[in-house]
Amino acid sequence: MLVRERMSTTPVTIVDGTPVTEALQLMRRRDVRRLPVLEPGTGRLVGIVSEKDLLYAAPSPATSLSIYELHYALAQLKVTEVMTTDLITVAPDVPLEEAARIMADHKIGGLPVMEDDRLVGIITQTDIFKVFLELLGGREKGIRLTIEIPERKGEISRITTAIAQLGGDIVALGTFLGDDPTTAVVTLKLKDQSIEVLQATMDCLGLQILDLREI
């Protein structure tokens, strides 16, 4: 799956020089947490500003400003002064997991998506979370099975074949690192099978069940 398949293709943007108060109002009205900042006239991406950037830009409550002075100070403050200009971006054809890795490594919540120096979308943590839900069948009813398996060729095939022979329907499957390099953890969401039969089958395969429940 690529970034272009899950990005927002109509990101909410603002222009350089927008007052902080106006940017905050736009975020709340459109229910977004970050805004790409474009250069007026050219539409060139020059920065990105997050809700946190805008909130931290407000004068400290400890300052001796009146409410009027506080509102005036905020009205004079522009996003130019608080936006991030050292931008990290991705292209539309970047694999989704690469975009997720970049966000995790740099501790950022969203990435502008650029094509030929043009902003074509934005991919956010929320988009990644939605994919994670799909990968693990988070919105599907069924039986959730988590097992520990040895890290060796053909092990997942052995498990899925056994489940298929029982008439079970695997609707989602995810693999994760185990406690040591010799093991992995596999989580499956299944339909058309019983907990008792799955328990007996995993026992026959010599696999340790970490969790087994109907949800």
Residues 169 and 68 in one domain: no
128 shares its domain with 170: no
pLDDT of residue 43: 92
Q: What is the CATH number of the domain that holds 42?
A: 3.10.580.10
Half-sphere exposure of 70 (CA within 13 A, CB side): 12
Instruction: Give the tokens for residue 134.
Output: 């799909």
**Tokens coding 146:** 């988590």
In this structure, are 208 and 153 located in the same domain? Answer: yes
Task: Tell me: pLDDT of 64 over 80.
Answer: no
Residue 67 has pLDDT above 70, yes or no: no
Model confidence, pTM: 0.81
Q: How many Å apart are CA 110 and CA 131, to the nearest integer?
A: 15
Question: In the chain, pLDDT over 90 holds for what percent of residues?
Answer: 80
Would you say 36 and 79 are in contact if contact means Cβ atoms under 8 Å apart?
Answer: no
CATH of the domain at 179: 3.30.70.260
pLDDT digits (tens, 9 = 90+) for 128-185: 999 999 999 999 899 999 999 999 899 999 999 999 999 999 999 999 998 888 999 9
**Is 157 found in the same domain as 66?**
no
Which H, E and C letters describe the chain, residue by residue?
CEHHHHCECCCCCEECCCEHHHHHHHHHHHCCCEEEEECCCCCCEEEEEEHHHHHHHCCCCCCCCCHHHHHHHHHHCEHHHCCECCCCCECCCCEHHHHHHHHHHHCCCEEEEEECCEEEEEEEHHHHHHHHHHHCCCCCCCEEEEEEEECCCCHHHHHHHHHHHCCCEEEEEEEEECCCCCEEEEEEEEECCCHHHHHHHHHHCCCEEEEEEEC
Q: Is 196 left (phi over 0), alpha (psi -120 to 50) or beta?
A: alpha
Amino acid at 208: Q
Number of domains in the chain: 2
- Is residue 70 scored above 90 in pLDDT? no
